[in-house]
Amino acid sequence: TKDVNGNLKTDMSGQRGKWEGDKVDPAEASLLNKFIRRALVSSRHEVEVLQRDPTSPLFSVKTFEELRLKPELLKGVYNMGFNRPSMIQEKALPMMLAQPPQNLIAQSQSGTGKTAAFSLAMLSHVNPAHKWTQTLCIAPTYELALQIGQVIEQMGKFCPDIKLAYGIRGSKVERGRLLQEHIVVGTPGTILDWCNKFKVIEAKKITMFVLDEADVMIATQGHRDQSIRIHRQLTKDCQMLFFSATFEEAVWRFAKMIVPEPNIIRLRREEETLDTIKQFYVLCKSKEDKFSILCNLYGSMTVAQAMIFCHTREMASWLSANLTKEGHSVALLSGELTVMQRASIIERFRDGKEKVLVTTNVCSRGIDVEQVSLVVNFDLPVDMGGNADNDTYLHRIGRTGRFGRRGFAINMVDSEYGMDVIRQIEMHFDRRIPKLDTLNVEEIE
């Protein structure tokens, strides 16, 4: 039996753990997204709203003024460079700020302004004269909680009376002494301890509860259960706000447990498409052969930037070392790097400091591929069972049709098995992937 790379399967034994296809940690991916984000993500879809009471008027705001925020808070919003509410904020903010309070389930991909929206809602909600915790926000990890806290601090910069505490590992509290901070952001485990074991938060006094990144939260069983245990201690009058980037069935079930009588807001993700991509495959004999074909191709094409995907870390570092030897400026991105390091590599690449990015599966999504005109599958994307991984294929080479920039995708095939994967991909997307004659590269330009 041969594996993906045409090597005997036995060659791969002992290396299984290094395959990076299954390594994408959702919390890390989300954090990476936050680090590399520069602006709002928009969508051509409409925001869908499902009101709990369909007869009540639906408010939507086009400006932040319409929200009648405290002037210090409005100043904080503008100071962040926000001119007008994002698509999701137009609908979500009036609901979150409504009197009497309304519950909300909101789903939209990351980067659409959810965090900014609920940060604003929490800041607007608290009464600084009351020296106790009034709003609680939970997030799946230490780092994500910190990120949210930073948004609140920045937005609340001109509201010095409003205090924030971080309920995360390492934060010290005095047992039995109630916190005076109005807003607490943290992870489920610490927050649960703070409510029950240390008794520094009185759950009954919480009037706004925010659960962020629900899809990431439920990926860890313990977090899901802790969130539910926190939620159980809240009163019926507590306003529940629930956010998720995706909405599969399990998230939906979780949402229903946390949010009674919800209003629902959804913004569909802009779908990726293969429409503007010319796809090819090339036949190769070995990895060395793949490498020299790749060099020839790259040398004879005029491409702005290229991304090259490998199956394992080993392959990615071998390839990047060899490309570097050939004089290319190469960035290497793989799973052993911290999220910070990955973010800085992606930023450099986006700024054009390197022309070629070699990567494993770790972050096929984090990068805005519009500027990348060539994507190479040095190894084809396959799942654990060895079948074509169509989703990953689409994420690697697809783009959101909006800009419609043309691009090329080249798949390197070095075995019968690889050909089989190509055929599966062709079938799945109902698009032929022609063979590229490497002696005649003009055909692709």
In this complex, which beta carbon is closest to ligand ADP, that of residue 101 or of residue 111? 111
Among 5, 102, 107, 115, binds ligand ADP (CB under 6 A): 115
Q: Is 103 helix (H, G, I), strand (E, B) or coil?
A: strand
- How many CA atoms, within 13 angstroms, populate the side-chain half-sphere of residue 257? 18
Span near ligand ADP by CB under 6 A; candidates 14-22, 34-42, 162-170, 427-435? 34-42
Among 102, 103, 107, 112, binds ligand ADP (CB under 6 A): 112
Q: Is the peptide bond before 434 cis (omega within 30 degrees of 0)?
A: no
Span near ligand ADP by CB under 6 A; candidates 35-43, 164-172, 202-210, 274-282? 35-43
- CA 352 to chain CA centroid, Å, is 23
Answer whether 357's CB lies under 8 Å from 378's CB: no
In this complex, which beta carbon is closest to ligand ADP, that of residue 114 or of residue 290? 114
Among 4, 73, 114, 372, binds ligand ADP (CB under 6 A): 114
Which CA distances in Å does 265 have to 43, 200, 209?
Answer: 14, 33, 17
* Shortest separation between residue 95's beta carbon and ligand ADP, angstroms: 16
In this complex, which beta carbon is closest to ligand ADP, that of residue 155 or of residue 425? 155
Span near ligand ADP by CB under 6 A; candidates 15-23, 32-40, 250-258, 345-353? 32-40
Question: What is the rounded CA–CA span in Å between residue 310 and residue 287?
Answer: 11
Q: Counting contacts by CB under 6 A, is residue 146 touching ligand ADP?
A: no
Strand pairing class (135-138; 208-211): parallel
* Shortest separation between residue 245's beta carbon and ligand ADP, angstroms: 7
In this complex, which beta carbon is closest to ligand ADP, that of residue 115 or of residue 334? 115
* Shortest separation between residue 85's beta carbon and ligand ADP, angstroms: 5
Q: Counting contacts by CB under 6 A, is residue 40 touching ligand ADP?
A: yes
* Interactions with ligand ADP, residue window 64-83 (CB under 6 A): 82
Give 3-state DSSP helix, strand, coil % of the chain, rounded to 5: 40, 20, 45
Among 9, 16, 37, 402, binds ligand ADP (CB under 6 A): 37
* Interactions with ligand ADP, residue window 124-143 (CB under 6 A): none
What is the CB neighbour count within 10 angstroms for residue 138? 29
- Residues 93-111 as b/e (b if ≥16 CB within 10 A, e otherwise) read bbbbbeeebbbbbbbbbbb
Answer whether 114's CB lies under 8 Å from 243's CB: yes
Q: Counting contacts by CB under 6 A, is residue 435 touching ligand ADP?
A: no
* Residue length of the chain: 445
* Shortest separation between residue 247's beta carbon and ligand ADP, angstroms: 14
Span near ligand ADP by CB under 6 A; candidates 18-26, 37-45, 199-207, 411-419? 37-45
Among 5, 43, 89, 227, binds ligand ADP (CB under 6 A): 89
Answer whether 212's CB lies under 8 Å from 241's CB: no
353 φ/ψ sector (left φ>0, alpha ψ -120 to 50, else beta)? alpha
Q: How many residues bind ligand ADP (CB under 6 A)?
A: 14
Q: Counting contacts by CB under 6 A, is residue 111 touching ligand ADP?
A: yes
* Shortest separation between residue 36's beta carbon and ligand ADP, angstroms: 10
* Shortest separation between residue 63's beta carbon and ligand ADP, angstroms: 10
Q: Counting contacts by CB under 6 A, is residue 290 touching ligand ADP?
A: no
In this complex, which beta carbon is closest to ligand ADP, that of residue 43 or of residue 190? 43
Q: Counting contacts by CB under 6 A, is residue 116 touching ligand ADP?
A: yes
Transcribe 221-258 into DSSP letters. Answer: HHHHHHHHHHHHTS-TTSEEEEEES---HHHHHHHHHH
68 φ/ψ sector (left φ>0, alpha ψ -120 to 50, else beta)? left
In this complex, which beta carbon is closest to ligand ADP, that of residue 107 or of residue 312? 107
Beta strands in 71-199 (DSSP E): 103-108, 135-138, 164-167, 183-186
In this complex, which beta carbon is closest to ligand ADP, that of residue 31 or of residue 362? 31
Q: Counting contacts by CB under 6 A, is residue 107 touching ligand ADP?
A: no
Helix (H) / strand (E) containing 262? strand 262-267
Span near ligand ADP by CB under 6 A; candidates 15-23, 36-44, 134-142, 290-298? 36-44
- CA 102 to chain CA centroid, Å, is 27
Question: What is the rounded CA–CA span in Å between residue 91 and residue 98?
Answer: 11
Helix (H) / strand (E) containing 288? helix 287-300
Among 76, 85, 156, 335, binds ligand ADP (CB under 6 A): 85
In this complex, which beta carbon is closest to ligand ADP, that of residue 240 or of residue 421? 240
Binding site for ligand ADP (CB under 6 A): 37, 39-40, 82, 85-86, 89, 110-116
